Chain A
């Protein structure tokens, strides 16, 4: 049996196993990222990149990390988290404080990766602390509690001394570069896509699709929910550290409810559970408001309309039919069957 299936594969051995593990989705997501990187690299190397363009690269990258990590919770696990900006702020403050206080201890090459790790771990720890009680809940309760958590974090940060209070944290060295963001994006993609393709990922999706069925098949709901929640918090924290080291200052007000909603819009626009969609929509949502500076007033209005329309379209059976029709694969097969009909005639 085993030998037979081995024979049938186009590439027996190495490549076959590689393809088995990494399906098209995985490769396309990575391909998109590397193509974008090469494009930006060429733009900068040939001197075609304007300052404005360069200044957008890092925020776009940070948004990609945030959108991918939130997609793990919203799209793959199927629970709504409205506190993603809260995790981001915890990570940002932890990582930036670490890098400020260890300025003499480590050289920059060690300090920056370490501060990223610290930010991520602290955010993940908060994910655990919040997740253990909260993940017993589901749906609407979970959303409200994560929102409440984001607000608690914000008001606590404002009231603490070592975080700089309402004035914020200043004089953070600007270490975030375009390359470092890109590397982090690749790591995030690798971890999350691998998780989705693994036994764990399938368990998480089983919880999303039918919690009771998954539970009765022996899937440990709390463990898998917590796993995706903590992982998402970890990457949100890292994104926060990158953000702090890019802007050079942090205030708690930057990480309010609106920021969480903005990340949610990226996930929803790209398609819930669709990682490559998140990448593309994160880039679009970073760039479009910059291009339409005059329409800045309408930005949030557009976001809200995007949320409503995407949800209504996704729920409508007619739109699903339309989407199925315009798939390239289906178009090709439709053409084929048409030409076959002609031949028969």
Chain B
């Protein structure tokens, strides 16, 4: 494969990471917590589509809508049961709970569907695009990129212009002041979780279609990588999540092609360490000074 097609592969995987990273970054910005279970919501989303299409024989579009709705509800339920009682607890407590939730989701799916990998139904059927002699963009990659860009534009407009979106920005800047201005902070946090989880369902669809198989643990790795992407772009910043996701996807794709498949994960993780060393606030993040 030529360099260009490797690059396009990387861009396509990167836009999936960007979608997942959006969920991380929004929740981190507003609830100030790392939602470890976010990666597993992706997996649950993919399994929902799998169940609806392969087991129940439903239509693709119904399956996708079902998956988005299910993940949105799941996100809200997780927030209400596991995270809401811990609003005032230490970050360590919240983080351990989130790890617990992530494990819980993995193991529930493991018990229901078994540990073996399932073939994911071919849902996205877009014809490959041929440019010139040897550059072929697969339909899935193209579709993924286009949908990701559309979602990002809608999300940015929503946050900039709608009342709820502006309330989200306010909560992320100063929770106390936002509450005094009459914003229902709990409601805003729930909405954030809902949006993040809904995006995760769509990311799950793309991720599973790209790789063709799903297993109970298949959400963990993209989840961690998307978090790295969010940190790379500057956690809390939405354009940062897009940039970080796409950069990470490209780096991963190129190192898989030109260095080593097995070491590509190690390379991606090393990027995280290097970024945190030299620019802990990420590429587009703001430096926040700590106040006593």
Contact = CB atoms under 8 A, between A and B. Distances in A.
Contacts of B100: 304-308, 311
Contact of A144 (B85, B104, B231, B262): B231
Interface stretch (A74-82, A186-194, A197-205, A321-329): A74-82
B276 A141 contact: yes
Interface in A152-211: 152, 155-156, 158-159
Contacts of B104: 301, 304-305, 308
B276 A307 contact: no
Contacts of A300: 103, 106-107, 110
Contacts of A134: 273, 276
Contacts of B91: 139-140
B262 A307 contact: no
B85 A312 contact: yes
Given A144-B34, A261-B103, A301-B107, A311 B86 contact: yes
A133 B92 contact: no
Given A136-B280, A301-B111, A148 B273 contact: yes
A140 to B, nearest CB: 4
A104 to B, nearest CB: 34
B99 A137 contact: no
Contact of A152 (B97, B227, B269, B277): B269
A257 B97 CA distance: 16
A307 B103 contact: yes
A316 interface: yes
B89 interface: yes
Interface string A276-310: 00000000000000000000011011011111100
B96 A133 contact: no
Contacts, number: 123
Given A133-B277, A261-B99, A264-B96, A152 B270 contact: yes
A159 B93 contact: no
Interface string A224-262: 000000000000000000000000000000000100010
A315 interface: yes
Given A141-B280, A143-B95, A155-B265, A212 B227 contact: no
Given A305-B104, A308-B82, A312-B97, A148 B277 contact: no
Given A144-B34, A311-B100, A314-B89, 9 more contacts: A136-B280, A141-B231, A144-B224, A144-B272, A149-B273, A151-B266, A156-B263, A307-B99, A311-B97
14 contacts: A79-B92, A137-B280, A141-B276, A155-B265, A159-B262, A301-B107, A301-B108, A307-B103, A308-B97, A311-B86, A312-B86, A314-B93, A315-B86, A316-B85
Interface of A: 74, 78-80, 82, 133-134, 136-137, 139-141, 143-145, 147-149, 151-152, 155-156, 158-159, 212, 257, 261, 264, 268, 272, 297-298, 300-301, 303-308, 311-312, 314-316
